[in-house]
Amino acid sequence: MNAITAESRVTLHFELSLEDGQIVDSNFSQSPASFVFGDGNLLPTFEEVLLGMKVGEEASFVMPPEKAFGAHNQSNIQRIPRSQFAMDIEEGMVISFADMSKNELPGVIAEIGEKEVVVDFNHPLAGRSLTFRVNIIAVEAVA
């Protein structure tokens, strides 16, 4: 039985949930997902906890913010003049912005004032501890 290494293709069922048990993402009721270790589909810290697991194993890992999507960073909250928005906006809406290098950057409308709009560019799961539950379906060596 192959154990997961840094040279593995892994097929698994997974679930991400918040501390209160609310499920954020899960494929347990769907087809399993596959990824090649290190391909960027999973955060490196999520991959690391899988090392050594074998087919048929199921486990849960509590991932603190620094091992998941990072701490909530106050400097990622920006105030933008309301005149910059040529559309109807509402709190909670996710809007795609472009950074200085023209890369797409999603931001959540956190607050709408008369003159300014507060936009939060933190990942929606930043600052949250997550439980990462997995069931390993297949492990293959990649050449």
Position 86 in a domain: yes
Contacts of 45 (CB under 8 A, 6+ apart): 63, 67, 68
Is there a single domain that holds both residue 130 and residue 61?
yes
Instruction: Give the CATH number for residue 79.
Output: 2.40.10.330
Position 36 in a domain: yes
Q: What is the pLDDT of residue 47?
A: 95
Position 3 in a domain: no
Q: Which of 108, 82, 112 is nearest to 96 (CA)?
A: 108
pTM to 2 decimal places: 0.78
Q: What is the pLDDT along the chain (143 residues), one digit of tens a residue?
A: 589 999 999 999 999 999 999 999 999 999 999 999 999 889 999 999 999 999 999 999 999 999 999 999 999 999 999 999 989 999 999 999 887 888 888 999 999 999 999 999 999 899 999 999 999 999 999 87
Q: What is the pLDDT of residue 136?
A: 97
Is there a single domain that holds both residue 30 and residue 83?
no
Q: Residue 67 is encoded by which pair of tokens?
A: 């091992």
Q: What is the pLDDT of residue 68?
A: 94
Domain that holds residue 61: 8-69+125-141
